[in-house]
Structure 1
Amino acid sequence: MSDLDQVITGYRVWHCRLPVRSKRSHGIGTVSDACEVVLLRLTLEDGTEGWGEAAAWSVFTGSPEASFAALDRYIRPLVEGRKLSDRPALMAQARRAVAHCTEAKAALESALLDLEGRVRGLPVARLLGPDPKSSVPLSVSIADPDFDQDIRLLERLTADGVGIVKLKTGFRDHAFDLRRLEHLRTHFPALDVRVDYNQGLTADEALAQVPEVARFAPTFIEQPVAFHDYDTMARLRGLTDIPLLADESVFGPEDMARAIREGICDGVSVKVMKSGGPVRGAEVARMAAEAGLSAYGGDMFESGLGHLPGLHMVAACPEITLGCEFYQARYYLVEDLLDGEIELKDGALVLPTGPGLGLCPDPDRVAAAEWTKR
């Protein structure tokens, strides 16, 4: 029997609450006090464990309660007693077993890939592509409504060698956005600055404000309007030479096909949690590149465990050229769940080279953070 034919004998789910350092405001909502994630651990016959995380946000992808229910009630019966080698079939069945809940499906695929990598002695990135990058430039979002706090974060980032930041806009007034952009250009001129509205503007607001923001020459402007407003996204592309990126408008390959067809963007945010796993995320990136569009690796409110499959995906995809924003574990959480830290070197996250995801959650930290487990 091949090691990949081992049966999955263990299946555990946790709902965890992770305290955060500060308030963070986005165009569609605010996070303060804590974020919530759902963890999945799969165990093989020989005791090998694989981990995944579902990081949901109720105003964006869904709720942690929905992710927990999807994993515990609807996906569990598909997985227990199945062979690890059934991964493609399991993922296809999970997509049909429960609608939406892309974060839960991402957790399942991450745990399956972690298991397969550990059994085969390969990092997950090598399962996704033949020649992964050894590191990926890190972008950190600037989103505190108290900009003085963000100035202190910016000073820490520059000291750490981080060269990319993304300014969250559209959650207050336009003057506040312009004032912060002016400060960044004046006091941190070496930074690569991106702008992200997270759907924070109406169509009329976007048509008036985006051209003014474009005068600061950000690397891109992301998702100014609601996810369904493809018409305004397409109109905005004609108002400025600054690339327009789609985030909430594009979850999986199906959305990417429509976005390309209707010409709504110059690039896309690829997120494991939106696409339902690294495999579909990589497909989104390939589709974008074939259409001449750029891509970068986005995140949700994740722990380091949630960052890892995204980092492996970005490293494995030459089509993702704008870096990644897997910063929450290092710069936002009071304490991460991992038993080690993802290395930051020269402004880039270093891909773990060990088998599977390369790192695991610390059992004591998981126990301290848990709300519910099954």
Structure 2
Amino acid sequence: MQQITHMHVWHIQLPVNARRDHGIGSVEHSVDLVILRLRAEDGTEGWGEASSWSVFTGSAEASFAAIDRYIRPHVVGRPLADRAAILADARYAVAHCTEAKAALETALLDLQGRISGLPVWALLGGRCRSTIPLSCSIADPDFDKDLALMARLRDDGVRIIKLKTGFKDHAFDILRLERLRADFPEFDIRVDYNQGLHPDTALSQVRDVAGFAPTFIEQPVKAHLFDLMARIRDDINVPLLADESVFGPEDMGRAIQERIADGVSIKVMKAGGLTRAQTVARMAGAAGLTAYGGDMFEAGLAHLAGTHMIAATPEITLGCEFYQASYFLVQDILADPFPVKDGEVIVPDGPGLGISPDPDKVAHYAIQRSGT
């Protein structure tokens, strides 16, 4: 097996077309991402993306430093066949920085897939689905803009949306739910608080929202409030999902034991990689919990990583949230569009991730780079 000879890292800023508010913070103007490229001795390249958010997993600056300074010595010069050992060394080379480790595993799998001629989903155990239902989040504080987006989604065949709640007031959340149920009855509506509710009023507000019968309600309170999550779960007749409460397998074990949720949002970035995300999903499935393919503020490269992971993980049954490349970014970085058709993400068949970034786009949006 070939050796890894080069590593290049870019910190890029991609402009976005709207503001998005969540219970723990807002995003507007642009998103910060870190792009990683590995090269083997025959010139084959593999790519990965670290999609961070400072209020959730960490910062792009931290991901850049984690990859460039602390992880690099454990990668360059090593055989690609040592992927498991490289990932194990990277895990302990720097604490936290789960997005950086996810980018590394993505690039290693992409590189191995391109050399072997296999898609990443084949390297992760084989494909269980060829399409994944797409969900789009509704999070603009200007609700009229979201209504226009809803009309576009309906025309495009998307039939799942997730309403971001808890960033303004309860009346605004109820108003939007009433309007969406009246004007878009064909949509599967989910609700996500992103930890936005105060413990004193969380239960009564979640009860009100449960009356609209969403498919699930996600993470109403702060991540560490396991007891309150369990009380809310027991009180409502709508499935409760955990997101920020469960990053990796370590959190999943406690979440199952304390019965804090009926399901979990699986994210490659917070889990620290594709295989760790699969482990979280399998733990959830074994305990009778559902799983959903969530994401961060990602470009198409990270969407591809999540797509291959979900394609090889039968326990993730509630669709995916890989909408940003199509509906949020002014410009994606992939050489070809991220594959979405009729409200479904199409799982690529080509080697590696199936689509590569356009190096010119990466260079254009870069604000920092490093590599040899």
TM-score, normalised relative to structure 2: 0.99
Aligned length: 370
Q: Corresponding residue for 2:238?
A: 242
Provide the secondary structure at the position in 2 that maps to 1:349: strand
Q: Corresponding residue for 2:256?
A: 260
TM-score, normalised relative to structure 1: 0.98
- Kept in 2, the 8 Å contact 1:14–1:370? The answer is yes
Alignment of 1:190-339 (within 5 A): 190-339=186-335
Q: Corresponding residue for 2:58?
A: 62
Alpha-carbon distance in 2 for matches of 1:363, 1:130: 29
CA shift, 1:207, in A, is: 1.0
CA shift, 1:343, in A, is: 2.0
- Kept in 2, the 8 Å contact 1:246–1:268? The answer is yes
CA shift, 1:233, in A, is: 0.2
Alignment of 1:54-203 (within 5 A): 54-203=50-199
Alpha-carbon distance in 2 for matches of 1:169, 1:115: 39
- Kept in 2, the 8 Å contact 1:53–1:305? The answer is yes
Q: Which runs of 4+ in 1 moved over 4 A?
A: none
Alignment of 1:33 with 2:33, yes or no, is no
CA shift, 1:131, in A, is: 3.0
Amino acid in structure 2 at the alignment position of 1:94? A
| Aligned alpha-carbon RMSD (Å) | 0.6
Alignment of 1:356 with 2:355, yes or no, is no
Amino acid in structure 2 at the alignment position of 1:261? Q
- Kept in 2, the 8 Å contact 1:26–1:168? The answer is yes
Alpha-carbon distance in 1 for matches of 2:112, 2:129: 20
Q: CA-to-partner distance for each residue in 1:211-265, whole Å, 9 max, x for gaps?
A: 0000000000000000000010000011111000000000000000000011000
Provide the secondary structure at the position in 1 that maps to 2:31: strand
Alpha-carbon distance in 1 for matches of 2:359, 2:126: 32
- Of 340, 344, 347 in structure 1, the residue corresponding to residue 340 of structure 2 is 344
CA shift, 1:341, in A, is: 1.0
Alpha-carbon distance in 2 for matches of 1:130, 1:332: 30
Alpha-carbon distance in 1 for matches of 2:86, 2:3: 13
Alpha-carbon distance in 2 for matches of 1:150, 1:113: 37
Provide the secondary structure at the position in 2 that maps to 1:204: coil
Provide the secondary structure at the position in 1 that maps to 2:235: coil
Alpha-carbon distance in 2 for matches of 1:95, 1:363: 28
CA shift, 1:184, in A, is: 0.7
| Identity across the alignment (%) | 65
CA shift, 1:149, in A, is: 0.2
CA shift, 1:208, in A, is: 1.4
Unaligned runs of 5+ in 1: none
